[in-house]
A and B are shown apart, each in its own frame.
Chain A
Amino acid sequence: DIVMTQSPATLSVSPGERATLSCRASESVSSNLAWYQQKPGQAPRLLIYGASTRATGIPARFSGSGSGAEFTLTISSLQSEDSAVYYCQQYNNWPTFGQGTKVEIK
């Protein structure tokens, strides 16, 4: 199985600042990578697929980049409603998820 490793485990960012989340794959997954946001008590919400394509209705402050084995999710100007856990998922083989990064508002 492809192992996905996210860093950091927790990120504390002030409102309006940039948040940068990292995701590393144990082998190349090409651009077959998605990002999800999950708030407490809610199902995950698709943010990004194909490493950099925003899903329908996702604000432009969310952007994804990378290919191969290194990926980044950037929230350009953090809003209070962005407090959540963010997961990356590869789908180059049968899907596997990272362990998540918790984004807190400072």
Chain B
Amino acid sequence: EVQLVESGGGLVQPGRSLRLSCAASGFIFDDYAMQWVRQVPGKGLEWVSGISWNSATIGYADSVKGRFTISRDNAKNSLYLQMNSLRAEDTALYYCARAPYGSGSYPDYWGQGTLVTVSS
């Protein structure tokens, strides 16, 4: 069974940093691209970033480019999102998702999310 478990969310002040992690199991992690997608509670979905299986192809939404960095450790079956210079508008539930056809494809499995709140 595919499982994606996010962690690392919490309350952080504007301008500070946070690192999210996603632990994957139930599939061959390095066969798949991965993504982060976020959702402001009660609002719609926003794709944040994607990374190919070998980290060769990486993409970011314009709203986070230059502030967020996606990475993965295939030996640890883990995906990460380093978030710097956080803003109030980054407050959201952050989902880790598996992307079967590349870093910019559709996600087929999603975790349950980790909540990031940016507030002073």
Contacts of B79-98 to chain A: CB distance below 8 A: 95
| Chain B interface, number of residues (Cβ within 8 angstroms) | 20
Known pairs A1-B62, A34-B106, A94-B50; A43 contacts B44 (CB<8 A): no
Q: Mark B82-120, 1 if CB is under 8 A from A, else 0.
A: 000000000000010000000011111111110000000
Stretch at the interface among A60-68, A73-81, A95-103: A95-103
Bound Cα distance A51, B37 (Å): 20
Q: Could you say which of B44, B45, B109 has the most chain A C-beta atoms within 10 Å of its C-beta?
A: B45
| Chain A interface, number of residues (Cβ within 8 angstroms) | 21
Known pairs A94-B50, A94-B61; A46 contacts B45 (CB<8 A): no
Bound Cα distance A94, B108 (Å): 16
A interface residues, Cβ below 8 angstroms from B: 1, 34, 36, 38, 43-46, 49, 55, 87, 89, 91, 93-100
Please give 16 more A-B residue pairs, beta carbons under 8 A apart, in addition to A46-B109, A98-B44: A34-B106, A36-B45, A43-B95, A43-B111, A43-B112, A44-B45, A44-B95, A46-B108, A89-B45, A89-B47, A91-B105, A94-B50, A95-B105, A96-B47, A97-B47, A100-B45
For this complex, 23 residue pairs linking A to B, each with C-beta atoms less than 8 Å apart, are A1-B62, A43-B110, A43-B111, A43-B113, A44-B95, A45-B110, A46-B106, A46-B107, A46-B108, A49-B108, A87-B44, A91-B104, A93-B104, A94-B50, A94-B61, A95-B35, A95-B50, A95-B105, A96-B47, A97-B44, A97-B46, A98-B44, A100-B44
